[in-house]
A and B are shown apart, each in its own frame.
Chain A
Amino acid sequence: MAWYENLKDDSPIISCRLRLARNLRKYPFLFKLDETQAREMIKDVTNAIMEKTNNFEFIDVHKKTTIEKLTLLDYHKISHDLVRSKRPSALISSKDDFIHVMLNEEDHIRIQSIYTGNNIEKAYELANYTDNLIEESIEYAFHETYGYLTSCPSNTGTGMRASYMLHLPMLDSLRGRMEHLTRSLASLGMTVRGLHGEHSSSEGSIFQVSNQITLGRSEEDLLKNLQKTVNQLVKTELEELEKRKNKSSFEDSVYRAYGTLKYVRAIDIREARSLLSKVKIGILAGVLKEEIKTPIYNIMMNVDYGALKVNYLDHIGNFENAEHDEINALRASYIRESL
């Protein structure tokens, strides 16, 4: 089962991801790697994995069509860099879909694991297992003092970036509070990123919290620190929700958003994200009593241009030239069907 089929609307935590960056001692880093070396490197790593287990499958990203690449991208299996890349690149995925090994992205190897909910330890366990598997037959670029060497010094050391996607509309509406909180988190070595619309009102209130520091602390320490941070954000969000959820204005805004999405005929991305966010918090608060067919974050992921393009390509032919109205109508019909 793919990770996103497990999404639920019962917590501010949407998903967690962990990735390990590794490079082979044998080859120069990506930016100085020629095509022949790149192919050899891919072969080396593929063999290292495939020889030991048959739980993985090999996907030649280079040979995929753009649409196929975008589908992989939408489910976070590969990155934008890999979609655009003209270099030989590949993806090795575990058959249960929890581990994705990107080859020849920013580093030779990027092992990535994604889970829904609060499962960062599990994600680390799996990534670490895959790392050990590869390392049995491959020598990594490792430095006695600096640890795992990566092409960008912001990843050196553990090569580990762990992150959480969080939905925090209550905190987001208190901009001062959120800013204060994120600043104090940053001083602990965390990075907080949020997406904001033109007029400061947030777009979907989705935040990403990750470890900024990769060097000088053990993997366990970094994960513990991140979890503490996330727990604190979640706790504050839920306290704020508790204060507001019984007000009739809260119920009204949730049902207004739901009603609009249920009957809308054309909707742009910004309005869609903002209304979906209200429905999502309404479900978490137990205020919205309607049956919803699809997890809201799943709908949020799919209302983007890229995903609509993949799912509706047949309907609309040449999407690049489609009028905005047409895309907005498609988006609306997708949302109506999903709710």
Chain B
Amino acid sequence: MICDHCKKLNASVTIEEISVGKKTELNLCYKCSLEYNMEANAPAVLNHVLKHMFYGLDALDPSKKQQKEETLECKCKTTSAEFRKSGKFGCEKCYETFEKELLDIFKSIQRATEHVGKIPQTNENSIKIAWQIKKLEKEQAKAISLEEYEQAAILRDRIRALKRENEENKEDTNNGMV
């Protein structure tokens, strides 16, 4: 067996990774195994997801050309092809440019699409309010679908109040900057 990394020497070490219910093996020569960093390496499963996400099952069939693959380019010059190859974004904006792919990745390796953890202190308040608004908006939509209009109106007023609060906070900080 040939080393998966340098593709030159004989593989003598196997690194097994079990992640998201998937077992992957990386076969490395002795030299490359010393360079393998358990801590830093992205989970092998990410590569798997990337490959299938862009090409679908056609990836397994070399006779089929991937014609329908669309090519996007972010303002930082990262293209779909580049992202597919490296699994890395070039800038903050890439998160919007490649949103569709991103959500697929999140669903398969994160099993979630929304952050609930730490918030930077500097904008902690406004983000907490924004999260609160989002939650209320969901409740509001549910109330409307159940035809509970009174409840929906109460929620609408609370949402408005929170939005106003956030606007005012923003103005305050802007004034403070000047």
Whether the pair A216, B110 counts as a contact (CB closer than 8 A) is yes
With A and B bound together, what is the CA distance between A105 and B40 in angstroms? Answer: 10
Can you name the residue of chain A whose Cβ is closest to the Cβ of B22?
A186
With A and B bound together, what is the CA distance between A28 and B75 in angstroms? Answer: 10
Contact with B along A97-138 (1 / 0, CB 8 A): 000000001100000000000000000000010011001100
Q: Which A9-55 residues have a C-beta within 8 angstroms of B?
A: 17, 19, 23, 25, 28-32
Q: Which A160-198 residues have a C-beta within 8 angstroms of B?
A: 160-161, 163, 179, 182-183, 185-187, 189-198
Contact status of A151 and B88, CB under 8 A, knowing A212-B43, A212-B109: yes
- Report the contact-size class of chain B (Cβ under 8 Å from the partner): 35 or more
Contact status of A153 and B106, CB under 8 A, knowing A32-B76, A183-B21, A197-B13: yes
Task: For A135, list chain B residues within 8 Å (CB).
Answer: 120-122
Binding stretch for chain A, among B27-35, B139-147, B154-162? B27-35
Q: Which B109-131 residues have a C-beta within 8 angstroms of A?
A: 109-123, 127, 130-131
Any A CB within 8 A of the CB of B14: yes
Binding stretch for chain B, among A140-148, A255-263, A279-287, A311-319? A140-148
Any A CB within 8 A of the CB of B2: no
Whether the pair B92, A81 counts as a contact (CB closer than 8 A) is no
Task: For A191, list chain B residues within 8 Å (CB).
Answer: 17-19, 43
Can you name the residue of chain B whose Cβ is closest to the Cβ of A135?
B120
Whether the pair A195, B115 counts as a contact (CB closer than 8 A) is no
Can you name the residue of chain B whose Cβ is closest to the Cβ of A83?
B35
Whether the pair B15, A29 counts as a contact (CB closer than 8 A) is no
Contact with B along A234-261 (1 / 0, CB 8 A): 0000000000000000000000000000
With A and B bound together, what is the CA distance between A105 and B39 in angstroms? Answer: 13
Task: For B16, list chain A residues within 8 Å (CB).
Answer: 193-194, 196
Whether the pair A214, B38 counts as a contact (CB closer than 8 A) is no
Any A CB within 8 A of the CB of B169: no
Any A CB within 8 A of the CB of B37: yes
Can you name the residue of chain A whose Cβ is closest to the Cβ of B10?
A198
Whether the pair A156, B13 counts as a contact (CB closer than 8 A) is no
With A and B bound together, what is the CA distance between A140 and B17 in angstroms? Answer: 32
Any A CB within 8 A of the CB of B105: yes
Any A CB within 8 A of the CB of B46: yes
19 A–B pairs (Cβ distance < 8 Å), ordered by A:
A28-B90, A28-B91, A29-B91, A32-B91, A128-B118, A132-B121, A142-B120, A147-B115, A149-B89, A153-B89, A153-B110, A158-B118, A191-B19, A192-B18, A195-B13, A196-B13, A213-B112, A215-B114, A216-B111
A residues in contact (CB < 8 Å) with B: 17, 19, 23, 25, 28-32, 76, 79-81, 105-106, 128, 131-132, 135-136, 139-149, 151-154, 156-158, 160-161, 163, 179, 182-183, 185-187, 189-198, 203, 208, 210, 212-219, 222, 269-270, 304-306
B residues in contact (CB < 8 Å) with A: 12-23, 30-31, 33-35, 37-40, 42-43, 46, 76-78, 86-92, 94-95, 102, 105-106, 109-123, 127, 130-131
